[in-house]
Structure 1
Amino acid sequence: MTNLHGFGPLLMAGAWMTIQLALCALPLGLLLGLGGALAKTSPYKPLQWLGGSYSTIVRGIPELLWVLLIFYGTVGAMRGLGSKFGNPDLALNPFAAGVIALGLCFGAYSTEVFRGAILAVPRGHREAGLALGLSRGRILWRLILPQMWRVALPGLGNLFMILMKDTALVSVIGLAEIMRTAGIAIAGTKLPFTFLWVAALMYLVLTSLAMTGQHYLEKYSRRGFVRTA
């Protein structure tokens, strides 16, 4: 039992795949979320419409469906692109499709977190920057974003823990993460209760580590900040 009937290494490999999926999808989701929030808070109507459409459409469709759409729905386009470069069998592998789908969904939800954080920065700070002759780009980079992160981190941390668990959805396209490797172990041993609990504990450990990292990031972001009554 110490090596889980020989499936211990396979489950550890699945855990490592889950970590890779989450860490690769995170920067993509952060970029999409920040871009969506800047678009929604922009004074330009077309950008507001673009940011709102992205967050509404992506959040309105289940994550599992996005995984299937990106993996299977891009087959024709990828083959058409590959045929132009002499590779007619070009296709997204399950890992790339999973990262894109998870990053897309994370970005849609983080758009609202970023938007709320941007709006939480007092308007007077922007006006002070303009009075000092700073460009809008420097005001965003030097004044708004540093303050925004402190407000956004709790929400982003919660979304990252959801992202860690949503990696289980990628098992439907054949990627050997925690749930798929647990399924393989169950099929080989006929011990569903044992390996489902092992998978649950693995997710619990990963999310606990994420919570610890979130705590220290929030503590770091609050350095020098004085709470006023």
Structure 2
Amino acid sequence: MAQIAVNPLVLKDVVISFGTDSYEAAVSNVTFTPSASTITWKGLTPAAVYSAATAATWAADLTYVQDWETVNSLSRFLFDNEGAEVAATFKPRSGSGPSFTAILIVTPGAIGGAVDSFGETSVSLGSKGKPALVAAVATVPTVTLAAPATGGIAGGTLVKVTGSRFTGATVVKFGTITATSFTVETDGILYVVAPAAAAGSKPVTVTNAVGVSATSAAYTYA
């Protein structure tokens, strides 16, 4: 019998989108929930008992904060599109792992709430069939920004690097020099201690299991 490894899911850098718009900034919980029942038929003898499970129906349960001031907010989207069918994508880890797609039937959420508290509410959106599991496609990271963009030649500056697909990063380099200390915060943000280097501009690159980032950010030693 094989020993199956586990990679526990922690929801902390998620994508949830409807159509072409992403709403993860407004959502605190997303759960695709199946619901099924058992049916039983009995004959005229005690042994003539048969059971079977019905096919599961699915719903996407969302908890989100109400926002009625932003024109294209999730609250407005659900309110304005009641009954519409929309293509939805749920990616539990934005830069790695699989995603799930489904056609959801829009239901508006509640309006209002308790005084002196955020107006958080929940809604259940029916799914047309079972969500589809879409396998992840491994790609190299992208690097778009290093901040601060300058530091001393002795190194030691804590630099925030922004980009994508940092999950599983193995190496961060400033030019040809490998940083000895870095921490991946999310798939799009990592923090690295700049190594010592000669004066001048150095490209900051990130490497994962697929390869070296195709883009880089400039960091200048002075």
Greater share of strand residues, 1 or 2?
2
Higher radius of gyration, 1 or 2:
2
Shorter-chain TM-score bucket reads: under 0.3
Greater share of helix residues, 1 or 2?
1
TM-score (norm 1): 0.20
Q: Which has the higher contact order (CA 8 A, sep 6+)?
A: 1
